[in-house]
Amino acid sequence: MPITNIHRLLGRRAEFFKGQFNWPTAPAASVRLSCPPWPVTTDPPNEAEVLKELQLLKNYKSPGPDDLPPALFENGSDFLAKKLTVFTKV
């Protein structure tokens, strides 16, 4: 049923826009969300970590700027993991 009285119509519109634009106030800036600390290690990667990442490489990816194909790293990952971890121990 349409509203024909202009005062009721304006009152209805005012009620609608109060609900749209009168939001609760934002929380104070001093309120901080608690989140657990994220453990980030700065230790060099060990041989198992290097081996895992080398095995995750995809053969079908294009070579990088060094022109070495990822298949080289994946197929020789056992040998490379040992050699790459030597650099981090120095």
Asked if residue 26 has pLDDT above 80, the reply is: no
Whole-prediction pTM:
0.49
* Comparison of pLDDT for 67 and 32, the residue scoring more: 67
Domain ranges of the chain: 47-89
> pLDDT per residue over 54-74, tens digit each?
888 887 888 888 888 888 877
pLDDT at res. 86: 82
- At a CB cut-off of 8 Å and minimum separation 6, what does 81 contact? 47, 50, 51, 54
pLDDT at res. 90: 62
- At a CB cut-off of 8 Å and minimum separation 6, what does 3 contact? 9, 12
